[in-house]
Chain A
Amino acid sequence: MTITRRNFLKGVAGGGLLLATGVPPARARVSTELPPQAVGLLYDATLCIGCKSCMVNCKVHNSVPGGALYKKGMKSPPYESKGLQGSDGIWDAPRELSGKTLNIIKAYRNGTAEKKDTAINGYAFFKQQCLHCISPACVSVCPAGAFRKDPENGSVYYLADRCIGCRYCQLACPFGVPRYEWDSAWPEVRKCQLCRHRYAEGKYSACAEFCPTGATIFGKVTDLREEAKRRLMLKPGTLYDFPVQTVTSRERTRREIAAYVDGVYGLNEVGGTQNLMLSGVSFELLGFSRNIPRFDLPSLTWAYIAKILWILGGVFVGGTAIHAVTHRKEKGA
């Protein structure tokens, strides 16, 4: 039996279509819904005193098995003491988020820096870390599925075993959060994973647990949103019992409500994030870009990806048809 060109082309076209339609439809798109048991952090910059207890404890409690900084055989947390004069390697003094630092408190200062939470002649603290997007760009762009979003609690985490190190996550993250271990020959991407390894022990994010003022609190996202909105609604100067550690905590600290600006950061940014922030100084001045879209970023690339199978099928059918037409004279040859 010989394979004629005609039959062969039929086979190619058919096989192409089969291949095209046979691809598992999968749980294709990244969800835009808040997971049922979503947890997160609320950081209120007006309560922060810049003690950096969150940074210290983040490092300690993530350097244990399961933690986001843990590496087999590590003897101490990955401190960044280089380049600090006279420290003798004693102090941890990171200046940026990095492969060794998942959470950082920075200071804003202007002019005489007299009054806290004021833009002009004032100062303020702010916290940078992963915001745990509802529709994370890093999860959607990773070619090997090394970034995941927990379907229950919504924490965005990383599986080093899958990672190839393409750093598309770094490019895609609108907040510039994922950091790379540039000094390693077998590097990992590092970012806050909301201390998800501590939930099983009944614990929660270390930065919230060890925050003395209630600037960072942990809780269900729905509760955190309510809490944030409540603070925004109150008149500046009103006395308010701020929860400490967790949003439902009985421990409270009575302070005056500050003059917030800009609303709740994380409510609408990139379609919403599980971590929320409040501040007395505009977020733009604190270095959070104003240029953040208000919709889920993965929809941008999905619009393209959804067309691929159609193009593949179209070219197979079209190409086969054109070939049949342009070669009809040579049929008998």
Chain B
Amino acid sequence: MRDMTQYIGPRLGGVANKLLDDSVSARLGIRMATPFTLVLCALIGLAAVVAVYRLLFGIGAASNLNDFWPWGLWIGFDVLGGVAMAAGAFLIAGAVHILNWKKYRCIVRASILNAFFGYLLAAISITLDVGRSFVIWHPLVMWQINSVMFIVALHLVLYLSTLATESSPMVFEKLGWQRTLDFVNRFMVGAVIFGVALSLLHQSSLGANYLIVPGKLSPLWYNKLLPYNFLVSAIMLGLAIVSFETLLTGKVFRHRVPREVVEGLARGMMFVGAFYLVMKVWHLVTGPGIGAALDGSFLGNLYLIEMTVGVIMPLAMLSFRSVRTNLERIFAVDILVILGVLLNRMNVGIFGVSEYATRAGGDYFPSLMEIVLTVGMIAFAILGFKVCAKYLPLFPEEGHH
């Protein structure tokens, strides 16, 4: 490793040296110089070019959005999906710091970091999606409390700061700044409670955004309980993401998977999933009727795929004890839940308004630039997570806690 004090002076160089010391993760055997890293960097580079183009020439030039379809891939996938994928953090942090479930302490840092990247993805994408990116801070000073979007903006900023606070002990620990570390740890419980409150509100408020469009969003998704549909499905997805990531890091890093943790998450997914299924069936029966989902229409089929992949199949699998205790099978369930709930967000955010938009004369398929940016953002999250895993004490050493 290079000695950074040669380049940027003893003070900054010393800090840089400490940060770049990867001995904390030596046992994980993370290699950065791989073709995969190169691919990720290339994708991020392309996305950066798109971002600059978008800022210079406007949202109309970069996207296929139009007056009838004002929100597309960046809202439907990056924002709605990215935020939903971040739900694991408040659950695990709450379980460890508030409920004192010590079992999950070993994954609390990874799930918070994961959420941090999920929110970062949402924040960057919404910044590029709004037409006047440079004044995106307006809602923070121009309060308009009737607007769910204002609530969403406030939560996004507050929770991103909370996640950064919750992640900061990793950095201070690495740097050996004991006093700062003690200081942050002193209000960690408060930060976690704040994070739980913000997450409950933020996850549901993304659904609440759509409460005002009863005439536009298909009745397959529109209902008065939409905020709570979003919250419950985000909890299910959050557990699946944490479980997925724990198993995945176990596969790609030399890192022992804490079996009892993953099994606990699977049980949680089963309970939340069952509740979600009841909610969704209740809505279908009391709202548009089962026929609306089975009529073979485009939206009906999307609804069926979403429910089958994301809820019914995972629940059917998890009902077997042999699945709940088999890490490979839990991994498969995780993937199904992730795909299903992400499809739900795209259904609400993009496809659900298609009947209205088409009648009005609109058509939408994401432009190449929209797709490139979204893919680049995902690459950014993966690479960022990997870098953090290499240079920060992300996974506590076994038997430490």
CB nearest to A180 among chain B residues: B67
A301 → chain B closest CB, angstroms: 5
Which residues of chain B have C-beta atoms less than 8 A from A3's C-beta?
186
- Across the interface, B130 reaches (CB within 8 A) one of A165, A170, A304, namely A165
**A141 to B197, Cβ gap below 8 A?**
no
A225 → chain B closest CB, angstroms: 24
**A176 to B135, Cβ gap below 8 A?**
no
Interface size on A, residues (CB 8 A): 66
CB nearest to B152 among chain A residues: A143
Which residues of chain B have C-beta atoms less than 8 A from A23's C-beta?
145
The stretch that binds A, out of B4-12, B44-52, B208-216, B334-342, is B208-216
- Across the interface, B144 reaches (CB within 8 A) one of A144, A167, A186, namely A144
Which residues of chain A have C-beta atoms less than 8 A from B136's C-beta?
164
CB nearest to B63 among chain A residues: A182
Instruction: For chain A, residues 1 to 55, give those with C-beta under 8 angstroms from any C-beta of chain B.
Output: 3, 5, 8-9, 12, 16, 23, 26, 28-30
**A171 to B132, Cβ gap below 8 A?**
no
A10 → chain B closest CB, angstroms: 10
Which residues of chain B have C-beta atoms less than 8 A from A201's C-beta?
none
**B135 to A164, Cβ gap below 8 A?**
yes
Residue B66 interfacial (CB < 8 Å): yes
**B151 to A305, Cβ gap below 8 A?**
yes
Complex CA distance for A50 and B360, rounded to whole angstroms:
21
**B215 to A166, Cβ gap below 8 A?**
no
The stretch that binds A, out of B34-42, B188-196, B319-327, is B188-196
Complex CA distance for A16 and B187, rounded to whole angstroms:
13
Residue A327 interfacial (CB < 8 Å): yes
Which residues of chain B have C-beta atoms less than 8 A from A141's C-beta?
146-149, 212
B187 → chain A closest CB, angstroms: 6
A185 → chain B closest CB, angstroms: 4
The stretch that binds B, out of A216-224, A248-256, A310-318, is A310-318
Complex CA distance for A154 and B260, rounded to whole angstroms:
62
Contact A162-B138, Cβ < 8 Å, known A184-B60, A312-B197: yes
Complex CA distance for A49 and B215, rounded to whole angstroms:
31
CB nearest to B137 among chain A residues: A164
Which residues of chain B have C-beta atoms less than 8 A from A320's C-beta?
193
**B70 to A167, Cβ gap below 8 A?**
yes
- On B, residues with C-beta under 8 Å from A are 56-61, 65-68, 70-71, 94, 97-100, 126, 129-133, 135-136, 138-139, 142-153, 186-187, 189-190, 192-194, 196-197, 200-201, 204-205, 208-209, 211-216, 224, 227, 353, 356, 359-361
Q: 6 A-B residue contacts at CB 8 Å?
A: A12-B193, A141-B149, A167-B131, A311-B201, A315-B197, A319-B193
The 9 closest A-B pairs by CB, nearest first: A165-B131, A182-B60, A12-B190, A315-B197, A167-B70, A185-B58, A143-B149, A319-B193, A143-B150
- On A, residues with C-beta under 8 Å from B are 3, 5, 8-9, 12, 16, 23, 26, 28-30, 96-98, 137, 139-145, 162-168, 170-172, 174, 176, 179-187, 289, 291-293, 297-298, 300-305, 308, 311-312, 315-316, 319-320, 322-323, 326-327
Q: A143-B152, A186-B132 given. 17 additional CB < 8 A pairs?
A: A3-B186, A8-B187, A12-B190, A29-B146, A143-B138, A164-B130, A164-B138, A166-B130, A172-B212, A179-B67, A180-B60, A180-B131, A183-B61, A301-B147, A303-B211, A323-B98, A326-B99
